[in-house]
Structures are given as C-alpha cells and as structure tokens.
Structure 1
Amino acid sequence: MAGGDPYIRALMRTISASEANDPQPYSLLYGRRRIADLSHHPDDCVPIASGPYRGDCTTAAGRYQLLSTTWTEKVARYGVVEGFPSFTPVNQDAVVYAWLRDPSAWDMDLESHLRAGEIQPVLAALSSTWTSLGQGLEPNVWTPWLPMLYRYFLRQELTQSAASLKTEW
C-alpha cells in the first residue's frame, strides 16, 4: 500500500505476516489454496483442519484472511477504491486501513498506542478478529515474534515515508 500512516501500514504488514505469511497473500484462501477471481470475496467454506474450531469451516481469504461476512460488513462501512465489491489488493488494503484507523471499531485509538510504542495492547485488541495475534485462540509460529516483527516493519515504513517526503521536495 502506498501512502498513509506508516504505523498503520506496519501493523497491516504484521497482520498479514501472521495470518497469510505468503509472497502472494491477496489471492490466498485459508488452507493455502489460491483464488483466481478477485472480482469479489470468494466466500468458499474451507474446513478447518486443526485447533479449537476443527471441523467447522471458514471463508477466510486474502492478505488479511477476512471472512466473507466481515468483508461485506467492512466494505459497506468504509467503501472500496476499485469497482464494488471487488476483492482486489487495492481494496483489501484500503478497507483494512480504514478499519484499523477507526477508533470506534476497536474501542481504542490504535494509532495513539502505536505511536507511543505500545504494540502489545494493540495486538490484544485485534486478537478477537485475527486469532493468531497473541491473545487469540490460534497462535502460530509467528505469534511470539509479532512485536519484534512490527518494529522491524515500522522501521522500514518510516524510512520509506522519509524517502517519499524527500522526493516530493
């Protein structure tokens, strides 16, 4: 995603690393399958293989592993950039970016906590949505490393933002 707040962009990269962790995350379905058509959320019900929800199914898809119901709700609330209701990379990023910037969505101002260097409360607040973020029910190999990973991504995003400002002048 180009532009926007580097703290939120770093958080988006952290969520993606934990939830999708794939070089082509935008077309990823839960279970590592791929979708070819990004004109809409795939809404494919994929059986959950392990963990507390084993045997249930999930419609998680894309860079942020959004459920189809979540996608529909957030698109209605925040809108999309390219052709409704397409599930393009631009739209996935734009919807999640707007959602993360909305303090009323999380009962806290995520940006303020991130700017204060407080990543742990942010991950805790997001864990009910993204269950791999530490307080959730489905930790993975990245979960213990997420604060460090966020700081790494933040350094990259701040450097990129500073470089962008220099080229604008």
Structure 2
Amino acid sequence: MASPQQYLNNPNVRKLLDVIASAEGVRHGYNTIFGNERFSNLSAHPNVRKSFRQTDGKTNFTTAAGRYQFLKGTWDGLSRQYNLKDFSPQSQDIGAIGLIMQKGALGDVLKGNYQAAIQKLGGTWASLPSSPYAQPKRSQAEINKLLGGSAQQGGYQPQYLSAKDEVRLFGKSQPQTIRQKYLSAEDEAKLFPQQQPPATRYLSAEDEVRLFQQSNQNTQQSSYLTPEQEAKLFPGG
C-alpha cells in the first residue's frame, strides 16, 4: 500500500499543498494557530481551542493549527495511522497528503486534474469552494488563480495549429512570441480545402441572364444546367 511519504517531493502534490495552505490563509506557515496567531513549539499539535462566528451567525469552536489547519482530533488519527511523532513541517506535509489519499483525490492530483481533487476535498478543508461548511471559503476564480491557470477544465478543447501549419500560413519569419492560434475562415480554406462545401448547381439570377438573355420566349425558363452549361460555368468542377 502506498504511503504519503513517497509523494512528499512530487511536484503536483506540492502544488496542491501550496494551494490548500494559501486557501486556508495561514500567515505563519507550519507555525499558525487558527486566527493567524503564531506558535513555536512543533513537538506536538498545540491543541488551542478558539471560538469563531460562522457565516450563518452561529458561534463555533476549532482547534485548527499548522500549515493545513489540522483539527486536534483529525491530527491524532493521522499521527496514529502514519506514526507521526511530532508536528514538524514534514509531519504536517505527510498528514495533509494522508488526508488527500483518504478522500480518493491523490490520483487526480498526480494526473494534474486539480479541479477534480478540489471537489473531493471540500469536506476536509473548509476554505475550498466545494466546502459544505458555513465558513468563509475561496471562490473558484481565486483557486484558479492560485493554480496559475493550469487547472484542466472539462469540455471544449481548442484546436491549435501544428508547427508545420504555422509555417504554411505565417511563413518562417514570425517572431518567437506566443500567438493566438485560431483560424480565420480564409485560413481554414487554405488548410482544409477538402472541407469546403461543393459548389451549388443551381443558377443565380445573374447566371440566368447570361445564359438566357437571347431568349424571347414567354415560357418559364428552367433553372437547371445542362452538362454543356455546367462545363462553361464551372470549368473546374
């Protein structure tokens, strides 16, 4: 069975840990007690009980502490499960990763699917937008900003140009800067001629005049082309 320790240096895991700490708003990192008070003894969870007012107006109490604001009861369970002997930075990281694993979110994190992970972790960290608790929480826009815009969103994925197509459309003299890669209708026609709709075989009013201007008959003229007329109007068709 995988242990939290083996993911301590994984860049995706570190990124999510940083997002959680930022969302929790801890000013003193691993040495933060709820309310952004600082404590210095990391030999054990400080177990300081604090009162606060919820967003629904009710008063509640918490023992949240550390970079990831562990409750005392939660920390006691983690320390037993993962044999954590202190409240050091490494122990706190291991405990946070353990919670991520328990909620089934580690696989999402390793794949870089942070949004799916955050949806699963709202019941653990009250500051996340998916949290059900009557406490202040971050908006989805704030979380996206913390993630640096790298969070994967479901749905439409834009079709970017390949390097070969860029050369065909823009030449080789373009500056090495990031360009918007969406195609105009004209560029689409150059790249994807086979996708253009076939020319219609019905006559426009102008074509009718060109073909039938010598006719003085009062009968209605057919607007369909003969093979000979098609060849004259659409030589490439």
Give the alignment's TM-score, normalised by structure 2: 0.54
Q: Which residue of 2 aligns with 1:145?
A: 142
Q: Is 2:58 the counterpart of 1:18? A: no
Q: Which residue of 2 aligns with 1:94?
A: 94
Q: Which residue of 2 aligns with 1:131?
A: 126
Q: Which residue of 2 aligns with 1:70?
A: 74
> Partners of 1:43 and 1:10 in 2: how far apart?
27
CA contact under 8 A between 1:7 and 1:111: conserved in structure 2? no
Q: Alpha carbons of 1:143 and 1:30: their partners in 2 closer, same or farther (altered >3 Å)?
A: farther
Q: Alpha carbons of 1:152 and 1:50: their partners in 2 closer, same or farther (altered >3 Å)?
A: same
Shift of 1:127: 0.5
Does the residue aligned with 1:31 lie in a helix, a strand or coil? coil
Indicate the larger mover: 145-154 or 120-129. 145-154
Shift of 1:3: 5.2
Q: Alpha carbons of 1:39 and 1:51: their partners in 2 closer, same or farther (altered >3 Å)?
A: same
CA contact under 8 A between 2:48 and 2:63: conserved in structure 1? yes
Give the alignment's TM-score, normalised by structure 1: 0.73
Match of 1:33 among 34, 37, 43: 37
Q: Which residue of 1 aligns with 2:206?
A: none
Larger radius of gyration: 2
> Partners of 1:29 and 1:53 in 2: how far apart?
22
Q: What is the letter of the counterpart of residue 112 of structure 1?
A: G
Q: Alpha carbons of 1:51 and 1:77: their partners in 2 closer, same or farther (altered >3 Å)?
A: same
Q: Alpha carbons of 1:11 and 1:121: their partners in 2 closer, same or farther (altered >3 Å)?
A: same
Q: Which residue of 2 aligns with 1:48?
A: 52
Number of residue equivalences:
144
Structure with more helix by fraction: 1
Q: Alpha carbons of 1:57 and 1:149: their partners in 2 closer, same or farther (altered >3 Å)?
A: same
* Structure ranking higher on relative contact order (CA contacts 8 Å, 6+ apart): 1
> Partners of 1:129 and 1:43 in 2: how far apart?
18
> Partners of 2:108 and 2:47 in 1: how far apart?
33
Q: Which residue of 2 aligns with 1:8?
A: 13
CA contact under 8 A between 2:129 and 2:139: conserved in structure 1? no
Q: Alpha carbons of 1:70 and 1:118: their partners in 2 closer, same or farther (altered >3 Å)?
A: same
Does the residue aligned with 2:53 lie in a helix, a strand or coil? coil
Q: Alpha carbons of 1:69 and 1:117: their partners in 2 closer, same or farther (altered >3 Å)?
A: same
> Partners of 2:46 and 2:150 in 1: how far apart?
29
Q: Alpha carbons of 1:143 and 1:47: their partners in 2 closer, same or farther (altered >3 Å)?
A: farther
Shift of 1:39: 1.4
Q: What is the letter of the counterpart of residue 70 of structure 2?
A: L
> Partners of 1:90 and 1:117 in 2: how far apart?
23
